[in-house]
Amino acid sequence: MMAACSRRACLMHTVTIDMGTTNTRTSLWRDGKLLAEGSAAVGVRDAAITGNKDTLKDALRVTIATALRDGGVKPGSIDLALASGMIGAKAGLLDAAHLPAPAGIDDLAHGMVRFALPDVLEQPVWCIPGVRNHTGRVGLKNHEAMDMVRGEETETMGLLARLQLAERAILVLPGSHTKLVSVDDEGRIVGCATTIAGELLQAISQHTLISESVASAFGQVLHPEHVLAGAETARKVGLARACFSVRILAQFSDIERDQRASFLLGAVLADDVLALKHSSAIQMRPDTTIVLCGKPLLRDALALLIDEDSYFYGKKIIVDDAQQANLAGAGALAIAAARNLLP
């Protein structure tokens, strides 16, 4: 809560926690400006595997302590703690229910839930809920229209504010999972769709026969011709056959390892483009603005595939590294301000 002092005299310290499937990041802010960060390669997947949530609490303690130390702030000086992402899932620590779409910043602010984590922080933690597409029953006939986000709703609010975007758009957020988030011209999330492209790429690259052909690693440089060839092969004969083509290219062609990695990347991401075009969870239109985020390799490969697909003719926005830095924290601060937790 806000400290009892004038806005000019008060320095407000806020901690934002972004916990994902495989990583946890804590950011320390002073009056909305980033001071320091702490991160750990620990997420809810670790707790799901071990059945022990103490690993999540340990990660929070370590990342919070790192951010406070590097920011020169004492633990007792934290005024507000905000959390988003998988920390609010049942497999996490707080269990905050999803909100049904459509959901905008005011809905997320109103839906924030206050939790106590006394063995981690003295202050209560305000958790931002995720968003789900609808509240009805799900079965074989309508399952593809259903999806949910945890964490990306907060990043979406941060990104919309930074880009000053006020139009219908699809936000493409690639990572371990690719999240496709549909927003309307009021800045509300109206639908989302998820693929496991990142995990699939990692599994194929490191845990299959194909790993030998790409040296168990992702590409370092994007090779457009090979990305497009991989995508075209997957569209024609399927992902499984396209993946084996990487081994064929390794044994019988002079195509180099990094180029083969681009071929595999294109084959996997072709399915993301297919989901973008046809998923009933987001109801993409050809003229919809597409906002592309993520690490440069994934972001640029997806941009290339979209550019080469005649289906799309709407505006395309490529979000650079500066624009997408600390999106979860920036979004959490914006949502907290809408809840009047910040001045």
Provide the CATH number for the domain around residue 126: 3.30.420.300
104 burial via Cβ count (<10 Å: 0-12, 13-18, 19+) = buried
Claim to verify: residue 119 and residue 62 sit in the same structural domain: yes
Claim to verify: residue 266 and residue 205 sit in the same structural domain: yes
Confidence class for position 1, pLDDT limits 50, 70, 90: very low
pLDDT at 52: 86
Claim to verify: residue 69 and residue 153 sit in the same structural domain: yes
Claim to verify: residue 298 and residue 333 sit in the same structural domain: no
User: Does residue 71 sit within a domain?
Assistant: yes
- Return the percentage of the chain with pLDDT > 90, whole number: 90
pLDDT at 288: 97
User: Does residue 153 sit within a domain?
Assistant: yes
Give the structural domain span for 78. 13-163+325-338
User: Does residue 183 sit within a domain?
Assistant: no
Claim to verify: residue 159 and residue 204 sit in the same structural domain: no
- Best CA proximity match to 234, nearest among 272, 198, 208, 206: 272
Q: Residue 127 in 3-state DSSP?
A: strand
pLDDT at 176: 86
Q: Which residue has the higher pLDDT, 276 or 49?
A: 276
pLDDT (average), residues 38-49: 90
- The yes-or-no verdict on residue 8 having pLDDT over 80 is no
User: Which tens digits make up the pLDDT trace of 209-251?
Assistant: 999 999 999 999 999 999 999 999 999 999 999 999 999 999 9
Q: Are strands 148-149 and 169-173 parallel, antiparallel or unpaired?
A: unpaired
Claim to verify: residue 159 and residue 17 sit in the same structural domain: yes
- Best CA proximity match to 343, nearest among 30, 21, 22, 18: 30
pLDDT (average), residues 124-134: 96
Q: Residue 72 in 3-state DSSP?
A: coil
φ, ψ (nearest 5 deg) of residue 317: -115, 120
Q: How many structural domains comprise the chain?
A: 2
User: Does residue 245 sit within a domain?
Assistant: yes
User: Does residue 175 sit within a domain?
Assistant: no
Claim to verify: residue 122 and residue 227 sit in the same structural domain: no
Confidence class for position 321, pLDDT limits 50, 70, 90: very high
Claim to verify: residue 155 and residue 208 sit in the same structural domain: no
pLDDT at 10: 60
Query: What pTM was estimated for this model as a whole?
Result: 0.92
pLDDT (average), residues 250-271: 98
pLDDT at 2: 43
pLDDT (average), residues 276-289: 96
User: Does residue 147 sit within a domain?
Assistant: yes
Claim to verify: residue 119 and residue 47 sit in the same structural domain: yes
CA distances 162 to 155, 207, 325, 331, Å, are: 11, 39, 11, 9
CA distances 36 to 82, 227, 335, Å, are: 15, 37, 20
Token couple for 195 = 């693929």
Angle between helices 224-237 and 257-278 (to 10 degrees): 60
Claim to verify: residue 139 and residue 278 sit in the same structural domain: no
pLDDT (average), residues 152-175: 96
- When computed from its CA atoms, the radius of gyration of the chain, rounded to whole angstroms, is 21
User: Does residue 228 sit within a domain?
Assistant: yes
Claim to verify: residue 156 and residue 255 sit in the same structural domain: no
Claim to verify: residue 301 and residue 331 sit in the same structural domain: no
